[in-house]
Structure 1
Amino acid sequence: MKPQGAENYLASGWAFLPARQEPADAIILTYEIAGQEPTIFEFNNGWFPRPDVAAQIGYHKNDSFLGWTAQFSLMQLPPGEVKITAWALDATTGKAFQLAGSQIIKK
């Protein structure tokens, strides 16, 4: 995640659903306060090609839109320190799979 000014952040990465052999249907961002369950606060708002990742994982379809971006504001988060995590959504099963990495943000 990269700061975009004083109040905004840009999260990005890539996601693939191995069981379906397809890109994720959506990306969900959650925040977590110590000792509590994660809370959904944002969805991705863009996809972009990642031919490098497609080649690495052996995804050979013309659609290599595996990269994603999500913008959010600190105003969407509660006060204090929270852990931000991204999840890949499989809309067919209704399950979300946690992606690697997370970031701590203090508001």
Structure 2
Amino acid sequence: MVARLTIPTRLVLSVLLAEPETELYGLEVAERSGLPTGTLHPILARLEGLGWATSRWEEVDAAVVGRPRRRYYRLTATGRREAQRRLSDARPVPGLRGASLTTRTALS
């Protein structure tokens, strides 16, 4: 069980919860949350370890598409329930009153 949700974790959960049935690849989550990938990927790994998220590797040949394969993430049913509960219970973030946690400008 997660003792508390950090602001970056709340941002990631908000992004994934915004489109719960859609798989998003890591860079999409990074861009939507405003988090650097070095912060994002450990959070996604933790969410997977908790059973809150699942991931899968894209089935393409990187040489053919001209880019690395993408790893797609989405919340599990448990992850959606926990994210909704935890985000609704979370204390407001100082400086973010009235701002959406899913926008890059929320951290400015």
TM, length-normalised to structure 1: 0.31
Higher share in strand: 1
Give the helix-richer structure, 1 or 2: 2
TM-score normalised by the chain length of structure 2: 0.31
